[in-house]
Chains A and B, each alone.
Chain A
């Protein structure tokens, strides 16, 4: 069964608009972590934002925020005031368990290709 689902293969947005990238997840573990990464065409994975399952507030990092709806098992990434440099692939990923002990194995979604138009 797919553990991370990103239903938007591609999105096109006008510069300066806000954009929401969807991510739903599936786990029976009460402890988990959710990550968003940006992958530009050069290939490196750039960490954007993290949300722990027990975190009370939605995570924010600059222009990035995570709309965490635990009951719906959704963790959408919101990018405010989009810029041309935001054009890239975006991946949602999940780590099951608290990650306190042992390795932090991630399961990735298929990604969403975001294109920002001038």
Chain B
């Protein structure tokens, strides 16, 4: 089935450690996104990529890094510089050629810093 796969679903990290969240899509979408959601809040854009080997900062990029070496994959690294990393992280993908309801989300990853 086509879709977006995020892993792991739950992740615990010690303070000072980097952690990488995986996002893979088989929808042949050019654009991919990472959003962060805090409890009771809406989503905020961390990074996005419109094409392989290119990515742009979103509204809250500090303390995060990404790469886009393959069209299907857009991993997010939460670095030790991110002061409050405990949150729910959602990956999404979309086409870039047509407007409308072509934005799909993965099931999310819960990150807890212990």
Interfacial residues, chain A to chain B (CB-CB below 8 A): 4, 33, 35, 37, 42-45, 47, 49-50, 52, 91, 93, 95, 98-111
22 residue pairs from A and B, CB less than 8 Å apart: A43-B90, A44-B108, A52-B100, A93-B43, A98-B99, A100-B97, A100-B99, A102-B50, A102-B96, A103-B56, A103-B94, A103-B96, A104-B31, A104-B94, A104-B103, A105-B33, A106-B43, A106-B103, A108-B42, A110-B41, A111-B41, A111-B42
**Binding site secondary structure of chain A:** loop
A35 touches B41 (CB 8 A): no
| Alpha-carbon separation in the docked complex, A103 to B16 (Å) | 32
Q: In the complex, A13→B50 CA distance in Å?
A: 41
Whether the pair B108, A43 counts as a contact (CB closer than 8 A) is yes
Instruction: List 9 extra interface pairs beyond A44-B106, A108-B44, CB under 8 A.
Output: A33-B100, A43-B110, A47-B104, A100-B97, A102-B50, A103-B96, A104-B96, A104-B99, A110-B42
Asked if B100 and A101 make an inter-chain contact with CB atoms under 8 angstroms apart, the answer reads: no
In the complex, per-residue mask of B41-81: 1 if CB is within 8 Å of any chain A CB, else 0: 11111001110000010100000000000000000000000
Interface size on B, as a range, is: 20 to 34
A-B contact count (CB 8 A): 79
Top 7 nearest A-B pairs (CB, nearest first) are: A108-B42, A99-B99, A50-B101, A45-B105, A43-B108, A103-B31, A108-B43
Tell me the minimal C-beta distance from B8 to chain A in angstroms: 13
- What CA separation (Å) do A93 and B37 show in the bound complex? 14
B-to-A contact residues, CB < 8 Å: 31, 33, 35, 40-45, 48-50, 56, 58, 88, 90, 92, 94, 96-108, 110
Contacts of A108 in B (CB 8 A): 35, 42-44
CA distance A83 to B28 in the complex (A): 35
